[in-house]
Structures are given as structure tokens and as C-alpha cells.
Structure 1
Amino acid sequence: MFKRLTLLWVLLRGDARQLWFALRHPQAPSWLKWGTAAIALYLFSPIDFIPDMLPFFGIADDLILVPLAIRWLLKRLPPEIAASTAKRDAS
């Protein structure tokens, strides 16, 4: 289980870095900025699909939905921005 959590962390960290580079790209589309703002709002909002007061389940929805939303945004990046951010993330 620890190996899976480590792998999840590495993937999330890489996706978060790529999203950061995409946001800073001069040709970043406005929908990317709005989508990232929505993810941040959901993450820090006290209103969740499953309340955080419930042990394990309250945090599990954040641990599942936020990485999926980030990955969803990254898959919709224009090819030139995706290629540019992937190169920056690899270095």
C-alpha cells in the first residue's frame, strides 16, 4: 500500500508542476485558469461532496477528485502548451 501511495504522490506532484508551468505559459487559455481556480476553490472550500468530518471518507474524495480534475485539465491543453510544459517539467 505504501508503494501505491508513493506512486500516487509522484504522479500528482508531476501533474501539479505541469499545471503550474501551463498556467505561467504566455498562451495559456482562460479556461485553464478558471478550471484551476475551481479546483483550488473546491480544495479549500468547507463544502465537499463528502464532509471532511467523516474519518477517511471525508479526505478520500479530495484525494481522488483533485488529481482527476488536474489530469482532466492537462489532457485538454493545446498541443504546443502541453509539449512546452512537459519539457520544462522533465528538466
Structure 2
Amino acid sequence: MKFSDNLKAWARRIKRDGVTLWFAGKNPRTPWYAKALGVFVVAYALSPIDLIPDFIPVLGYLDDVLLLPVLIWLAIRLLPPGVLAECRSQAEEWMQANGARPSSRAGAILVVSLWVGSGVAAWLWFKPHP
């Protein structure tokens, strides 16, 4: 198997596991801590806005290539095996039926809030004090 095939398979699994977390967030058997992390990861992953914009050289893609897969892996590890299997099955069915990933307004709001909060904090930090 070629490197590009391995990379495509890995990307497909990451995408599937992101959708899996979406379904796990709705599952009543998902523990609260897994739900909390899963909701955060899904909101960020499905947000149309990145925390670090992609046009910033190198750093722009770090969240997509490193941060997001690590967070998805961690959230998946927190799911009980039965819930994981059920939600992965739902995710695969949903992806075959719909093709595209869902989107999240909450994720966009979260990212915009982080940027605004960071801007306000920086302004307060650097503004001249009388």
C-alpha cells in the first residue's frame, strides 16, 4: 500500500471518528466527561472557522494535522466500547447516505468567541495603565 493510500485511509478514519463523536454526544450511555470533550471536539472540527486560520504559514495547518486528530483520538478513547461500536456504525451509515460532514454553528461561535476573548485580553494586557 502506498503512502498516499495510507494517508487517505487515515483521513477517512479521522472524518468518520469526528462524526462518531457527533453521534456519541447524543447517546445517553456516553459518560459526561466523554460527552464534554466530544462536544468541544465536534464543535471545533465542524466549525467553518479555524482557531488558527489556514493562511498563516505552517501554523495554519497544525491544528488540522496535529491538534484535531489528537483531540479526536482522546475523545474516542473515553467512549465505552459498546457506545463506540454503535456510534461508528451510525457514522458510517450517515456518511454513506449524506456524503458531506455536518456543520456546526456552535463551533463557529466557539472559535469566534475565543478570538474575541483573546483580543480583549491582549488589549487589556497591553493598554497603558494610568
* Pairwise TM-score range, normalised by the shorter structure: 0.5 to 0.7
What CA deviation, in whole Å up to 9, does each residue of 1:3-53 have, x standing for no partner?
45533331221111211121111222211222134434597575x6xx866
- Does the C-alpha gap of structure 1 residues 58 and 86 become closer, same or farther in structure 2, counting only changes over 3 Å? closer
2:71 matched to which residue of 1? 69
TM-score by length of structure 1 reads 0.66
Structure 1: gaps spanning 5 or more residues = none
Alpha carbons 2:16, 2:92 under 8 Å: kept: no
1:55 aligns with 2:68: no
User: Aligned ranges for residues 7-86 of structure 1 at < 5 Å?
Assistant: 7-39=9-41, 40=43, 46=51, 54-86=56-88
Shift of 1:55: 0.5
- Structure with the larger RCO, 1 or 2 (CA within 8 Å, 6+ apart): 1
Structure whose alpha-carbon radius of gyration is higher: 2
Aligned CA-pair RMSD: 2.9
Q: How many residues align?
A: 88
Shift of 1:87: 2.9
Structure 2: gaps spanning 5 or more residues = 94-130
2: CA distance, partners of 1:31 / 1:80: 17
TM-score by length of structure 2 reads 0.51
| Code of the aligned partner of 1:18 | T
1:87 matched to which residue of 2? 89
SS at match of 2:29: coil
